[in-house]
Amino acid sequence: MRVSAVAALVAVVMGVLVQGAGAAPSSSCPNAWAHGWQKLADKVGVPVYCPTWMPNPLDAQIGGQYEDIYSIGKDRSYLVSFLEHGDLGSGDVHVNFRGYPGRKAIPTCPGPVGKTTVPCFADPAGHMRANGIRATVYQVNQGADQWHILLAWHYRGSLYTVSQHVINPYDSATRIRQNLAHLLKSLVLVQPARG
């Protein structure tokens, strides 16, 4: 009886340690999120990246309480954004996912007065590698990614990005880079359904 109690306690402690260390990411999109990401992949006709981890308190349920923007352009490029406004000035948690099917070039965004356009992602600052992806880190970004640190990479002729806003409670570039590294490790491909 005593051995069973000790074994149960060890199992609980080990489970807590594994969770705290960042357990291995799932190999598939979480069930609660899978439908929305599958629907997106089907609409744009290319694989999309579903995260299996999100920074607290966000989830990545398309159509859920944290969805901020869900936009698909005529060229099938998409922006899926998740946002939580903190209470009483505690800050925002904001993560964007983008995809540009069949496009490798960085898109352009409206520029400041006197300039017609500027690259939407600029000031590269190294690379991150995880999950078979080699992503470039961009520190100066435009549009919905302004004030974000952004990762961009290519897969089968398409450009993909994920970014997070540098703002309280995640108000340091170091912390955002840690979150983006965790997000990169957590990404799983969702293939479009074959009709």
Mean pLDDT for 93-97 is: 97
Q: What are phi and psi of 56, to 5 degrees?
A: -60, 135
pLDDT of residue 130: 96
The pTM of the full predicted model, rounded to 2 decimals, is 0.84
Q: If you average pLDDT over every residue of the chain, what do you get?
A: 87
pLDDT of residue 21: 36
Domain ranges of the chain: 29-190
> Whose CA is closest to 40, among 7, 73, 88?
73
pLDDT digits (tens, 9 = 90+) for 40-76: 999 999 999 999 999 999 999 999 999 999 999 999 9
SS (H, E, C) the chain: CHHHHHHHHHHHHHHHHHHHCCCCCCCCCCHHHHHHHHHHHHHHCCCEEECCCCCCCCCCCCCCCCEEEEEECCCCCEEEEEEEECHHHCCEEEEEEEEECCCCCCCEEECCCCCCEEECEEEEEEEEEECCEEEEEEEEECHHHCCEEEEEEEECCEEEEEEEECECCECCHHHHHHHHHHHHHHCEEECCCCC
pLDDT digits (tens, 9 = 90+) for 171-183: 899 999 999 999 9
pLDDT digits (tens, 9 = 90+) for 123-158: 999 999 999 999 999 999 999 999 999 999 999 999
Mean pLDDT for 105-134 is: 92
